[in-house]
Structure 1
Amino acid sequence: MLEGRWTTVTESEHEHERRGLEAIRRRLPDEEPWRAWSNFTFTANSGHVREVDLLVTAPAGVFLLELKDWHGSVHGGGNDWVQTTPGGTQRRHGNPLHLANRKAKELAGLINDVSGRPGDRPKIWVGEAVCFTDDKLRVNLPAADLNGVFTVKQLVEMLAEPPGDARRRITAETSRRVDGALKKLGIAPIRRQHEVGSYLLDAKAFDSGPTWADYLGRHSQLHDLARVRVFLRERGASDAERRSVEQAAAREALVLSRFRHPGAVQLKSYLPSGHPAGPTILFDYHPETLRLDDFLVQHGKQLDLRGRLALVRQLAETVRSAHSRRVHHRTLSAHAVHIIPRDRGPRGRELSEEQRWLSPWPQIADWQIATGQSASRGRPLTLAPTNVSGFHVSEQADPYLAPELRIPKADPVRLDVYGLGVLSYLLITGQAPGASQSEVMARLEAGESLRPSALVDGLNPDIDDLVEASTAYEPGRRLSTVDDFLEMLEYVEQAFTDKDSIGPAAAAGTGGNGGLGSESDEDQGEPEKDPLEAVAGDVLAGRWEVVRRLGTGSTSRAFLVRDLAGEPRRSGTLPVAVLKVALSEAKHAVLDREAQILGRIHRDSSIIALYEREPMTLAGRRVLALEYVGDSRELKDQDRGDGKGPRRREDTVARQLRDNGRLGMDQLEAYGKYLFGAVEHL
């Protein structure tokens, strides 16, 4: 096909794209009704800027084509395709046919709108297809997914074959109508860069949802990256729909401005008028960030069960911290979890590429429909929605959404408990609970439950109990709080500790990044364990035996520990303390300052005191030892070997309010005297 019929709207910057387009162009005839347009963009009614590799009018119809220069092999099916490169690396891709179908429908609507349909002029249909430009690619997709997938040769043969339905056949007149419609639409060259604030955006969004698109932004003067989320106002949308988009952007910015936690994505700035398409939010961004499902495809084989459960705990602790600030996510999903590799190990030592991904840092994103309450008055946030439609939720989140999500005034705590349960199922099994929410709901309504042991052999029964209790179909039968979820998770973690304590052989069999026992580590000359990654049974610095992790805040992670070097109490039990471990070197000064202040305060029962007067440094991390003032009866039971029983938890005012509602006058009076007494002492 010659120039004139073949229109290159934008010259490709990439050699492999030019090579693929040229291979197709050489095979297309230069006659009616054939025409082609390559590398252009159009703006859909939704506000999304859509990029098109190739649009062709041919006897078979009008087709929007996605070109893929993949090598090696591809397998999978449904929503996800997995490419295995010649080097053995696996990469997860969303099914490209789905996005091509969406683009084709949007473009067809625009073409018919501008071309009009006077008299009996037929409607123009736009089909979709995916073309693999490497003929050597091994395609191992199910038959249902192969419909619409072609090599270059197969594609040209398909385009030349007129359809059986006469209404879909393309004549010379129809081809010219498409050409005229595209000119009226003003299809545009692919713009290489947009600018938001001081950041230059990549031309193509790397992620998108119904009302937003995410771009990689590069600072124009500094070596700094940002994830730039542009919220999109749909063309012709009602005032209510436009306000909903603007409020979703403001809500996400507001929530993240008041909930700053290392387990949540970090807000850079919010620009209500940052982009012509709509409001813009800028987030901190690590260039190697992966979505949770992508992470499991690429690195799941190297991650043992202990490492997977460590990710479950980190996610649960982040959600618990959010709930303590009266913030609820409501739509937790694999798409909403970002995985960031660690750059350094204990004492700042370099990590291998595999080690960096064995203990990564998860961050929760997509807070645009979160709810919250004022910390001072307990009232809902001004921008918090009372119910949820699918308006702002990513399609990829669908299989993870709770059954009652769209019911007005659904309990947001139990929504998040459900989300943690299905994420646990994904992390343990490596598979989503279903292809869609409706498929998962059908299973639950039929009386089935989500049991990881159905897919993974040899699991501890406590794991099934945890997932089942957090994903029950009826919210009232579900775990009521994230604290309850973490308590059940401790039973699972304790099973690992008990197994490891049987002997070195059992411990060696657990593999991965969670081996216990610092003495054996030292005998083998292995590096000192990072205290941030400690689990029950670990002994830090030969003195502090970890009982359990208490939680993670914005500056440190707290552990309940036994002091093996301490004087036994009358009961024969060892003294206990709380170790606060700094999350990063930047937080060392915070703990040092806390130690200085506590060291100047005279001892009083109303103030938690230092257990050790000076901060310690363990494996390069600053650690503060504080007195433990919680209930120690559970520890006595453990020391006596009473086995598994109900665990006792540190009671807090927040938990009492959540479990029992408003406090009585006698409690208010007692707490008031206690708090004012503490202030008077200070």
Structure 2
Amino acid sequence: MRPYAVSDSVSAALDTLVFRATAGDVQDRLASVDEFLELLAAAEVDAAAPQPLGGPEADPLTVQPGRRLGSAWSVVRVLGTGATARALLVRSTAEEGPEGAQAESSPRVFKVALDQEKDARLLAEAKALKEVGGGRIVKLLAEPRELAGHTMLELEYAGGYRVEDDREPVRLGSRLRDQGPLGYDQLERFGNDLFDALDALAARGVRHRDVKPDNLGLFKRSDGSWQLMLFDFSLADAPDQDLHAGTRGYLDPFLGSAGRSRYDDHAEWYAAAVTLHEMAAGERPVWGDGQGDPRMAPDAALHVSAELFPPLSVKA
């Protein structure tokens, strides 16, 4: 479908979105929901009406791509909304080149609390990132502050070096869903990145509590190489007595059994092991039939999908 053929009021970005989503040849269609959302964000930017100067300050919980946020930022895209906050990818609009063109600036993420009850989560995340941020862990770029009445964190963008890489997956989870498991070299490199992040956390006595592919960004460095970057520390302050904080499938199923009444390092490593398995096989390991609780079925074996792992690369 080409809406522009019927009405020239349709923007080029919206025309491209509809065409790519409805292409008759399956090979030409959008490969994933993430790619659809990227093109939708571009269409929303095109459709955004000019903002009058001196108008009311935009609400970061409803602002759309292409709109200004505060006095010096423009929303590039909405990265997502979770149980705690809405994440916006933004770029500075403060600097302009000699002919009025906007200068390149590093993108960053504004993580905005959904309501006052979620403020404590963001403040706890900021505290954790002050301890561990940097390297293979996303950095906190400024002290927590208010934006249009909402508590907000300003974070390093963990999903890519250039915003213009719209066709590149920005999360490990998206990469695995779209392209399948990693090859041997990527698995070795990204696996080491994950170990480095976990080592940095352990050295400072911090636990992430929700290690999974969707909380690992694919960060493209200035030299063109890729690395993993761990983000979303919104559960870092969850009490050890809370055995349900996290994501099902990555939670250690034996928490709560005899002698394990508190979250521990083994549970953190279990989530990392499941993530590594998913990186290598494209799927999570399964206990028994995948339906029951392995604590209730002592004979439920763990199925590791070794047949899907990449072949060992022999190096000279």
Q: Distance in 1 between matches of 2:200 and 2:21?
A: 42
Q: CA deviation at 1:450?
A: 3.7
Aligned residue type for 2:270 = Y
Structure 1 partner of 2:85: 212
Gaps of 5+ in 1: 1-11, 21-66, 75-83, 97-187, 234-241, 345-350, 372-383, 460-495, 497-509, 518-682
- State the secondary structure of the residue aligned to 2:273: helix
Structure 2 partner of 1:401: 251
Q: Distance in 2 between matches of 1:206 and 1:433?
A: 28
1:91 aligns with 2:32: yes
Q: Structure 1 residues 189, 265: CA separation in 2 closer, same or farther (over 3 Å shift)? A: closer
Q: Distance in 2 between matches of 1:13 and 1:330?
A: 45
Any conservation in 1 of the 2:253–2:294 contact (CA below 8 Å)?
Answer: no
Q: CA deviation at 1:361?
A: 0.4
Q: Distance in 1 between matches of 2:309 and 2:119?
A: 48
Aligned residue type for 1:341 = K
Q: Distance in 2 between matches of 1:451 and 1:256?
A: 33
Structure 2 partner of 1:227: 109
Structure 1 partner of 2:146: 273
Aligned residue type for 1:449 = L
TM-score calculated relative to the size of structure 2: 0.67
Q: CA deviation at 1:409?
A: 5.8
Partner of residue 305 from structure 2, selected from 426, 431, 452: 452
1:562-586 CA-to-partner distances (Å, cap 9, x unmatched) read: xxxxxxxxxxxxxxxxxxxxxxxxx
- State the secondary structure of the residue aligned to 1:268: coil
Q: CA deviation at 1:324?
A: 1.2
Q: Structure 1 residues 252, 457: CA separation in 2 closer, same or farther (over 3 Å shift)? A: closer
Q: Structure 1 residues 440, 418: CA separation in 2 closer, same or farther (over 3 Å shift)? A: farther
Q: Distance in 1 between matches of 2:236 and 2:177?
A: 28
5 Å matches for 1:371-386? Answer: 371=237, 385-386=239-240
Partner of residue 366 from structure 1, selected from 223, 232, 237: 232
Q: Distance in 2 between matches of 1:406 and 1:73?
A: 52
Aligned length: 261
Q: CA deviation at 1:279?
A: 1.2
Aligned residue type for 2:172 = L
Q: Distance in 2 between matches of 1:206 and 1:400?
A: 22
1:329 aligns with 2:208: yes
Q: Distance in 2 between matches of 1:403 and 1:263?
A: 27
Q: Distance in 2 between matches of 1:406 and 1:69?
A: 48
Aligned residue type for 2:283 = Q
Q: Distance in 1 between matches of 2:280 and 2:65?
A: 42
Structure 2 partner of 1:599: none
1:165-223 CA-to-partner distances (Å, cap 9, x unmatched) read: xxxxxxxxxxxxxxxxxxxxxxx996852515732224x52212122111111112242
Structure 2 partner of 1:340: 219
Aligned residue type for 2:80 = D
Q: Structure 1 residues 252, 85: CA separation in 2 closer, same or farther (over 3 Å shift)? A: farther
Structure 2 partner of 1:516: 315
Any conservation in 2 of the 1:387–1:406 contact (CA below 8 Å)?
Answer: no
Any conservation in 2 of the 1:92–1:294 contact (CA below 8 Å)?
Answer: no
1:393-429 CA-to-partner distances (Å, cap 9, x unmatched) read: 6xxx433233366999623311211111100110110
Q: Distance in 2 between matches of 1:231 and 1:259?
A: 21
5 Å matches for 1:121-270? Answer: 192-196=66-70, 198-202=72-76, 205-222=78-95, 223-233=105-115, 242-243=116-117, 245-270=118-143
Any conservation in 2 of the 1:330–1:412 contact (CA below 8 Å)?
Answer: no
Any conservation in 1 of the 2:217–2:230 contact (CA below 8 Å)?
Answer: yes
Partner of residue 412 from structure 1, selected from 264, 271, 286: 264
- State the secondary structure of the residue aligned to 1:398: coil
Gaps of 5+ in 2: 1-8, 38-61, 96-104
1:282 aligns with 2:154: yes
Partner of residue 184 from structure 2, selected from 305, 327, 330: 305
Any conservation in 2 of the 1:425–1:450 contact (CA below 8 Å)?
Answer: no
Q: Distance in 1 between matches of 2:243 and 2:85?
A: 15
Q: Structure 1 residues 327, 309: CA separation in 2 closer, same or farther (over 3 Å shift)? A: same
Higher relative contact order (CA 8 A, sep 6+): 2
Q: Distance in 1 between matches of 2:19 and 2:242?
A: 36
- State the secondary structure of the residue aligned to 2:266: helix
Aligned residue type for 2:156 = D
Cα-Cα RMSD: 3.9
5 Å matches for 1:31-70? Answer: 70=21
Partner of residue 176 from structure 2, selected from 272, 296, 308: 296
Q: Structure 1 residues 343, 90: CA separation in 2 closer, same or farther (over 3 Å shift)? A: farther
Structure 2 partner of 1:426: 278
- State the secondary structure of the residue aligned to 1:338: strand
Any conservation in 1 of the 2:64–2:78 contact (CA below 8 Å)?
Answer: no
Q: Distance in 2 between matches of 1:291 and 1:213?
A: 16
Q: Distance in 1 between matches of 2:85 and 2:140?
A: 16
Q: Structure 1 residues 210, 456: CA separation in 2 closer, same or farther (over 3 Å shift)? A: same
Any conservation in 2 of the 1:194–1:200 contact (CA below 8 Å)?
Answer: yes
Any conservation in 1 of the 2:243–2:262 contact (CA below 8 Å)?
Answer: no
- State the secondary structure of the residue aligned to 1:400: coil
Q: CA deviation at 1:343?
A: 4.0
Aligned residue type for 2:301 = E
Identity %: 14
Any conservation in 2 of the 1:369–1:388 contact (CA below 8 Å)?
Answer: no
TM-score calculated relative to the size of structure 1: 0.34
Any conservation in 2 of the 1:273–1:280 contact (CA below 8 Å)?
Answer: yes
Q: Distance in 2 between matches of 1:341 and 1:190?
A: 25
Aligned residue type for 1:220 = T
- State the secondary structure of the residue aligned to 2:248: helix
